């Protein structure tokens, strides 16, 4: 069966010749949108508990977190090769010397092939890019910039603390340095129409990004967004509606961009909306089924195909 979109797992398998698993670590970072530098409440949807796996506990040394993760994945999936994923909060938000110590510690663990580093586009500079570029000479290094939206009206609404231009500047600083560039966006912000959401695919296709995470907006407990939603509910993606949106979006996306994530799945005990009542496996199966039913292909409607 032909692959209908460019997915992360097969991409890594092709590159490394084996299945590669991600090991999450919590290196104890905070975020300028939480520590008072830009704000204290964070982005309005942000509840880090919704994306921090239980095996990640701040305070446990990075090497130990990685070894624990590897042990679990090896037992469960017979996994042999790994990327270390610096996930919660802003993982370049520290002096460069400290970052170097953490990243090298992660890369020193046998069977680790590289790093994926989640961060904000306003928390990178030439010195940090210099470090990542140096590491990328020997290892796979992917920097995932949280963008969320290309529209400043939306970035203002979610109290993101940076604008779209800042993201473009970060991408510009990162490109052509051997570092893989990823972006992370949210679909379904109440500030945007469906057409505006789809137009993000056109825009991102023109940029030198190689990886993309996209998921539906989720309203989770203990966030300013939850407060707004409970006071005045706004529409969120229905399940079927999101499947069709996703197919439409990916058809417009450059076929060269690898999709790392297609939906979000916050724990039931904190998720307020949308409640789809589906497991990860069911959602993945339904996405594939929708692509097949529509005979859709990533990039088939891309306005800006790359050379």
Shortest reach from residue 37's CB to ligand SF4, in Å: 10
* Binder among 4, 23, 25, 42 for ligand SF4 (CB under 6 A): 42
Shortest reach from residue 34's CB to ligand SF4, in Å: 5
Q: Which residue has the tokens 């692959």?
A: 3
d(CA 180, CA 133): 10
d(CA 195, CA 294): 19
Please report whether residue 213 would count as binding ligand SF4 according to CB under 6 A.
no
Please report whether residue 164 would count as binding ligand SF4 according to CB under 6 A.
no
DSSP state of 147: E
Closer CB to ligand SF4, residue 48 or residue 74? 48
Please report whether residue 31 would count as binding ligand SF4 according to CB under 6 A.
yes
Rg (CA), the chain: 19
Shortest reach from residue 220's CB to ligand SF4, in Å: 11
Angle, CA 231 vertex, CA 226 and CA 236 arms, to 5°: 55
Query: 239-252 and 194-205 helices cross at what angle (nearest 10)?
Result: 30
Shortest reach from residue 123's CB to ligand SF4, in Å: 9
Query: 164-174 and 126-135 helices cross at what angle (nearest 10)?
Result: 40
Shortest reach from residue 179's CB to ligand SF4, in Å: 20
DSSP state of 7: B
Closer CB to ligand SF4, residue 48 or residue 111? 48
Residues 6+ positions from 220 with CB-CB distance below 8 Å: 45, 47, 50, 226, 266, 270, 271, 272
Residues in a beta bridge with 83: 22, 114
Closer CB to ligand SF4, residue 24 or residue 90? 90
Q: Which of residues 95-154 bind ligand SF4 (CB under 6 A)?
A: 120, 146
Closer CB to ligand SF4, residue 41 or residue 108? 41
Residues in a beta bridge with 81: 20
* Binder among 46, 79, 83, 204 for ligand SF4 (CB under 6 A): 46
Question: Would you state the structure tokens that stand for residue 257, as one six-digit string?
Answer: 């961009």
CA of residue 157 relative to chain centroid, distance: 20
Binding letters toward ligand SF4, positions 216-255, x by CB under 6 A: ----------------------------------------
Please report whether residue 170 would count as binding ligand SF4 according to CB under 6 A.
no
Interacting residues with ligand SF4 (CB under 6 A): 31, 33-34, 42-43, 46, 48, 89-90, 120, 146
């Amino acid at each position: 069966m032909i692959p209908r979109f460019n997915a992360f797992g097969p991409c890594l398998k092709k590159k490394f010749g084996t299945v590669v698993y991600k090991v999450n670590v919590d290196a104890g970072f905070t975020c300028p949108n939480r520590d008072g530098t830009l704000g204290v409440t964070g982005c309005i949807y942000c509840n880090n508990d919704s994306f921090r796996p239980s095996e990640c506990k701040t305070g446990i040394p990075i090497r130990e977190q990685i070894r624990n993760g590897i042990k679990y994945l090896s037992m469960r999936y017979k996994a042999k090769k790994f990327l270390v994923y610096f996930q919660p909060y802003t993982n370049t938000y520290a002096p460069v010397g400290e970052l170097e110590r953490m990243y090298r510690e992660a890369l020193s663990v046998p069977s680790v092939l590289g790093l994926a580093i989640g961060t904000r586009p306003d928390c990178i500079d030439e010195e940090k890019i210099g470090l990542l570029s140096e590491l990328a000479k020997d290892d796979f290094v992917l920097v995932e910039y949280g963008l969320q939206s290309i529209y400043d009206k939306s970035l203002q609404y979610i109290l993101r603390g940076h604008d779209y231009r800042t993201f473009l500047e970060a991408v510009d600083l990162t490109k052509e340095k051997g570092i893989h560039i990823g972006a992370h966006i949210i679909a379904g912000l109440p500030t945007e129409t469906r057409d505006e959401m789809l137009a993000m695919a056109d825009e991102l296709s023109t940029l030198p990004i190689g990886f993309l995470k996209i998921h539906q907006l989720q309203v989770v407990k203990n966030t300013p967004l939850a407060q707004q939603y409970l006071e005045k509910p706004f529409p969120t993606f229905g399940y079927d509606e999101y499947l069709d949106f996703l197919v439409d979006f990916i058809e417009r996306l450059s076929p060269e961009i690898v999709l790392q994530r297609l939906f979000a799945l916050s724990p039931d005990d904190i998720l307020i909306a949308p409640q789809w009542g589906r497991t990860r496996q069911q959602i993945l199966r339904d996405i594939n089924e929708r692509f097949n039913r529509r005979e859709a292909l990533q990039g088939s409607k891309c306005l800006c195909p790359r050379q």
